[in-house]
A and B are shown apart, each in its own frame.
Chain A
Amino acid sequence: MRKSLLLRQEGYVRSHWLYPKSVFIICTVIICMFLSDRVFAQGQIKISGTVIDSTGAVLTGVAVKFRGTQTGTTTDVNGKFSLTAPDANSVLVFSYIGFASQEVPLNGQTTFNIRLKANNTSLQEVVVTGFGTQKRESITGSISSVTSKDIDRVHAGSTVSTSLAGKIPGVTFRQSEGRPGATASLQIRNMGSPLYVIDGIQQDEGQFNNLSPNDVESISVLKDGSAAIYGVRAANGVVVVTTKKGSGDARINIDAYTGYQNFYRFPNVTTNAYDYMRYLAEAQVNSNGSTSITPAELEKYKAGTDPAYRSFNWRDYILKENNNAPLNSVNANFTGATERVNYYVSATNLHQSSQLGKEYLFNRSNIQSNVSVKVANGLKVNLNINGRIETRENPGVPGLDDYGLAKFAVLRNTPLERPYANDNPEYLNDIGHTESNYAFLNKKLSGVFHSDWRVLQTNFGAEYQIPGVKGLTVKGLYSYYVADYLLNNQEYTYNAYTYRPATNTYDVTGGSTNPWREREQRKEFAKTQQLQINYNNTFGKNTIGATLVSERIELQHLRNWIHASPVSNNLPLIYFPTADQYQDSDNKETRIGYIGRLNYNYDNKYYLEASARRDASYLFAPDKRVGYFPGVSVGWRITQEGFIKKLLGDNSFLNDLKIRASYAVLGDDRDPGNSANPIVTPYAYLPGYNYNTGTAIIGGNALVTSADKGLVTTNISWLKSKITDIGMDFTLLNNKLSGTVDYFYRKRSGLLDRKSDVVLPLEVGYLLPLENLRSDAQYGAEFSLSYNSKIGDVSYNVGGNFSYSRQKNLESYKPLFNNSLDQYRNSTVNRYANIDWGYEVTGQFTSQEQINNYTVNNDGRGNRTLIPGDLIYKDQNGDGKIDQYDERPIGFGYGRQPNINFGFTLGAAYKGFDFHADFSGGAGFTWFQNWETRWAFQNNGNLNTIFEDRWHRTDPYDVNSTWIPGKYPANRVNPSFTHSDYELNGQRNSTFWLHGVKYLRARTIELGYTLPTGLLAKAKIRKARVYINGYNMFSFDNLKQYGVDPETTDDNGLQFPQSKVLNFGVNLTF
């Protein structure tokens, strides 16, 4: 009777098994454990023993059960167990993660010394897939995953995405920002922003990033047709996250670390007034032929004895003062499982501040409570709660980005300027551009910015095993998500002073009388309901699985924003008479999906999976709403074939080899350029007027205006992505070496464009509507390898992955070109996407004579602006002038993900010591120098020291003196955009300023030590481990010469870089 209650709950059972029989057994054991505590009925044979592994090391926590009952225990720290057998015919079952289960009949014995054989292969791992889990060996799609043990040791920042550099083959990574709370940009195969699914619910990227990394059990990445089951938004792949569930003995885990962060790299500037002034004098001579800075004045700066000629080091003042900015985290969780209940209850607090000052910080508190209860035979319910408070706080400073001015200050302020008038910290110095005076950028003077996300996600689930039908279960899931965002920002009015030595007074000469007070409130509601029917059964060698799901998703976004100009800095609330702007919006989205999937496998040898999904989205016109997304995949485990087994024998070189292929159609209703936006404006299919397009003042009164919506767009529907993937999984060398290889090709059709064969006169006042016309492709390959072995007492593992992916535009709708040059320069058909065009620089002018004799118009002004050191552009078409038609493709798309990504990992363990080193890298992406990294004295600011290596005259005061070569063109002052080294004919890119980036950087390097258990037993501590961990300690890259982090995207080089982090941590289990 109870055997028929075989239960399989996805994302839940993580036991490892080899054969259907053992599946059956283990499940039965687990089920029985749930079902009954009426165990000790009869028998009473006392037995005991020890469990060791093949090396003789004792194994702690091995589950020991009797087959067909719920009776059981686990081994203690010495590998010992003892329990009472129900009767003499009982069979003992030993199971342990990573080891093959073993069954031992009692046969009258009472002591057992069991040696468990390790399952070195990952084939038995249960991998989370769409709406379910599968064993790795049976997977036919391209799915990679990482588990908590890979993520746990990364202490890079505060968000989940930052922990994934180089971890997963095919997942590209670029973290250009390193500020507190920053995230990394992740894409699957560079296909665009993926869909995130957390515990079965579609979520946004913010929710993914701000899970507590401690609560993440596994992250699976569905890279091909296997994502099709998520239908409408799955075209860019799906990231499926599962949080931890309770298992094993009741225990308490504590994981705490504290880290010290320092900018990995940031531009250097001159730090003394003499250097600054002499470079400035030189640049003025280069620009104007003369300078007002006299040699005598320079001498005074050089001596620096006169107080008026002192220097101030702004870089140290801003950054050095804040070295070793803290990053720390504490997680405590309670977890365990009994027959009826399993639970994982966790709380985490993370605090991160920044090298721009303690007042620039991020704080997050998470709770996760996953509880499931078996309430009756065959019926199980679970309640998962995830909540967090995510806080960002910093000085409220002028400008959009409150981190901007503090970073900018490093470069903007010159060594001649000082933060305080007369160095008196009571008086903020008026330096003429006081907003970048770092002494102003604090909560006391500039204001306070504070924002909170408060999020609560509750998933209520029930699973019922239909009585009488073996393998049939029904599952329901209802999820309610509420997120509340509250932003309060107040920027104060302030005074800046000038000190008058004559009168010893401080006069108010600057500052701001402009207060800025804003409040933003957002509410996000998401309701998801799912009904799922699963059927799984085995008939002889045939195993069949079927899944049917219906899903409804409703999102609501509410937002309001108010702005006021308070009359005093001391008034934190907003009142009607001072308010002047108010915005309000309320938008809803709904989607419906019906999903079906069939799995079939014959003898664990041939696999077939077919799925289909019917989706409908509110976004499209009623007759365009529905899309169908089918997928199919097949697998063949060659090594399961009898003849291969025979051929290979027992102790084989090749342990397992599976060839797999998949094809599917996936959809997207998001904008391919920016997945935060829909592909088409909501309600584009409805005619009428949009209310609230602006404000008009009519008759002295403000009036909300409306504008005609224009031509309605009724014919837009889904983007369709057809993904083909061919891959291979293998294990070799006695299961020590395993790996995967994949090739993929995604053709995406239905990208929006306008038809070009009918040309409407502009005088009609509208364009032809957009239609699903264009197509593109993303294709590439990836592979991964890992090797696990042992030398004596040292076990070690080495692994690596490499991926390559590029995008190509395919058809456009009948493109029109004026001539072949136009087609060469502007066509996209069958070309790589994301090309940066620019000039090719062939060298630098070495003398005025060379410039005078140069026949190509190199600067658009007959070469009159040129001096030695200036760039020589290649006249590609030989027409004697440099213009748009001399541009060539020179970059991979500014700001984009690397086309090549790779990572590798090393691990070793010896007795209590463990060591890990992770590396990741990228290539095939672009950064270019601009603004502060291109112009000396940009914004009349300080000199970026990269420009010390420049073309210059031996005597800066003598325009006829000889030139000394350097790397950069001669420095100038305010050369204006039109200078040919900076911009020529509107083009700023050239091979001199645009760089293909390559880097390899150390991510986590960790050394841990687990204290011997004997020592801890007295303290009732089961496990204690301490570690030291470094993140981003070094890198090999080609951007060091520009003073910027290799992953930066901002062309001015002033982006908040990633940090080097040194962490000290402890893991405790009670």
Chain B
Amino acid sequence: MPIAGVLFLSFALFLFLNVPIALSLGASSIIAMLMAEVPLDLLPMSIYTGIGKFTLLAIPFFILAGNTMEKAGISDKLIDLANKSVGHKKGGLAIVCVITSCFFAAISGSGPATVAALGVIIIPAMIKSGYGKGMPSALMATSGGIGVIIPPSIPFVVYGAIAGVSIGRIFVAGIIPGILMGVALIIASMFLVNKMDIKKQDKASPREVWKSFTDAFWGLMMPVIILGGIYGGFFTPTEAAGVAAVYGILVGMFVYRKINLKDLFNLMYESALQSAVVMFIVACASFFAWFVTTQGISEMVSEFLIEASGSKYLFLMIMNIILLIAGCFLDAISALYIFTPILLPVALKFGYDPVLLGVVMTVNLAIGMVTPPVGVNLYVACGISKISLKEISLSVLPFILASVIALLLTTYVPQIALLLPEILGIK
């Protein structure tokens, strides 16, 4: 099919020539449409409706909520709490890194945001305690990926919008796989730490731990409000994101007193800008996905996949390999738009739960955040520790391996993701 060839080749050409992913998706679709003589009248409407979904409104709100809590100083408090609780153990700071990432993930829906917020404190502290230069940045970058697996999560919101599955259900389904990935990372760190000479910290008294807990309390309440609110039926995930943002503003202004009106203006502007970068990808990617679907290209690839794999288990393996490779070159949002229309029909055909498919895809793309060359988390971690991409790429290998093990478990043991929503009875 020449149209499909033109579409994917021009997209790859633009991508490799450093044209932003969003523009590459939009422009290659236009070229293919001109070739196929499909009228372009639907382009503006597709961009308009691509962004203007009420569900996707959760994206700016969650970004705002995360930025607000960060500005309010919540990352220091979470790190302090984790450090007082487990910091005295051997390799304690590595555990602190993973655990705070899990908690911060429950406030923020973004991988790079998690790395940026926690990394500035944890990475220098780990280097100082003797963890070497590459390992702390690599661990922080990989732990940051948990940010999109534990709810709230921007990729989950996007997948929910594309696949039409309940965002509430996929949010809960992400909790255990996220924790599992954290455990895998801690185990990998323990192997690495064994050979290192690390300065130990003094054990904190229960009183100090309690003090840290009360300091971090308002931040820890955020996930309770978001998840509790959704499951208590008080509000939709989009509204939960809005409530979380306002909660963050109130806590930052009146409890921690770190945010004044001028900061608030800047927070609003920065969050709007960050969400616009995501939404521009969403707009162009949904246009691309619309074209691929209406031209029957995705259907063709789906049918090919069904025939080539033949069984569910082989399909899942092929899917993971494709997504891991795609994750090296694409960001999570565009990958979701490109691959969901192809993979969802195959998954349904093989009786694989669509919510589970979303979780597995997101775990894949979380690993994609630390696979060079396009690994957004790696860039952020390198920026903090001032080491080269080459240096961190080597250090990150054991953590990628650990994450892939967690990925395979999540893929092939459906209960890991689906048991929690089942128990809680969330549809």
Report whether chain A binds chain B.
Answer: no
